[in-house]
Amino acid sequence: MTKFSLITLFGRKIGNKAFTLVELLVVIAIIGVLIGLLLPAVQTAREAARRMQCANKLKQLTLAVHIYADTHEALPTGLGDSIGTLNAGVSNGRWSGLIALLPGIEQTALYDRIMSENVYMSSWSAHTLTTAEGGKNSPRAAQPDVFICPSNGVSSKPETATGYTCYRLNAGDNPGSYSADTQTRGPFGYRAWRPFSAVKDGLSNTLSFSEKAVDEFNGTSSDIKRQAATYAIAADGGFSGGYLQDRTICVGSAIGGQYQYGVGGMTNGFGYYYGWNWFGGHWYHIGFTTTLPPNSPSCYNRAGNYNAMFSATSFHPGGVNVSLLDGSGKFVSETIDSGTAVKFPTPSTPDGESPFGVWGAMGSRDGGESKTLP
């Protein structure tokens, strides 16, 4: 081997100098450490960008609420038809309030099609659309981008699946019922269209939307962020009196972020997949409650009145994005004050200040609280 060789047995010559194998390994190790330090920073930056996208979409949805209210002089209902009357012959009163917001999020063509075709939700709970329902051509299969958070739990949507939503309407601080509006303390009612004047706590003190993590299509995750524990009767560890009262039962259904028990284990109720039907108006599809703090378990009582305690959840570290009715937005920590009370004194007719701390107060529209988000 001559002095003119570029390759030596232990290194590479550059001019009159050579890198030994040891030096080369040290350089590689240093590069590896630098990459190891850089990757978390890149991932953090990407998540910050995704979180910002989510916040912007929540603001778009709240602005759409104002556009609707300017036209109809009322907020959209959470469950019911999109205009201020029920049309039981068409939708059976089960249309989501999100339908009413479509013109305000640049989806006027989809809204007009829903209205002109009088889309009847004959199998409103199913998240796979039949040929008779139009399959992939059904309006229910539409997937407006504004309903999707890039940090959600869904990797893909089948063509014949109903559209899903990562954003939910505020149903209030008391578990929602499907039999009466008296339990719903949020601004969006159960077949009730409320004017802004009904939000007596103030628009800047009342939540409009929050996030809810969605499971994969046909997913069976036991992750509390994605699913809900279902209870049938009190004898099975469920809720008593036909109402979803004791919130500690819901918290106790999850250990280490995973559901451990319930009727048949952690189930999907009547086969519903929570969030996989932005078209459907029941709270497990499009609502959230502030009974439990962000990223807490969710529970659903199928024994009576079909109450739903659906916590706001997300895959953003440490909390969730929310929007308030005044159009502003916040990132709320999962450690926010949610009080120490177990339940409302009278869950069937809740009244007065929220017993669930600052978070509960932000869910009520007229609790008389003077609390604001930190």
How many CB atoms are located within 10 Å of the residue 178 CB? Answer: 18
Most confident of 89-98, 241-250, 292-301: 292-301
pTM here?
0.84
Residue type, 370: S
Mean pLDDT of the 209-233 span: 83
Distance from the Cα of residue 322 to its chain's centroid: 10
Dihedral of the alpha carbons of 219, 258, 311, 349, in degrees to the nearest 10: 110
Evaluate whether 53 touches 150 at the Cβ level (below 8 Å). yes
For 43, the token pair is: 């991932």
For residue 10, the model assigns a pLDDT of 41
Mean pLDDT of the 42-60 span: 83
For 149, the token pair is: 């958070």
Task: Look up the domain containing 350 and give its range.
Answer: 38-363
β-pairing, 308-309 with 299-301? antiparallel
Evaluate whether 94 touches 281 at the Cβ level (below 8 Å). yes
Res. 355 pLDDT band, cuts 50 70 90: very high
Q: Which of 47-56, 84-93, 148-157 has the lowest mean pLDDT?
A: 84-93
Cα–Cα distance between 350 and 268 in angstroms, integer?
Answer: 27
- 277, part of any domain: yes
- For the chain, the average pLDDT equals 82
- 318, part of any domain: yes
- 279, part of any domain: yes
Picking from 120, 127, 64, the residue whose alpha carbon sits closest to that of residue 93 is 120
Q: Which residues pair with 319 in a beta bridge?
A: 333
Evaluate whether 237 touches 202 at the Cβ level (below 8 Å). no
- 81, part of any domain: yes
**258 pLDDT higher than 80:** yes
- 102, part of any domain: yes
Backbone angles phi, psi at 83, to 5 degrees: -100, 180
Backbone angles phi, psi at 43, to 5 degrees: -65, -40
Cα–Cα distance between 214 and 339 in angstroms, integer?
Answer: 27
**9 pLDDT higher than 60:** no
- Whose tokens are 């819901």? That residue is 250
Domain count, the chain: 1
Percent of the chain with pLDDT over 90: 41
Higher pLDDT, 270 or 42: 42
| Cα 355-178-335 angle, rounded to 5 deg | 35
Q: Which residues pair with 254 in a beta bridge?
A: 259
- 31, part of any domain: no
Specify the DSSP class assigned to residue 161: B
For 233, the token pair is: 């009767």
Backbone angles phi, psi at 172, to 5 degrees: 110, -170
Picking from 76, 85, 91, 81, the residue whose alpha carbon sits closest to that of residue 123 is 91
- 99, part of any domain: yes
- 152, part of any domain: yes
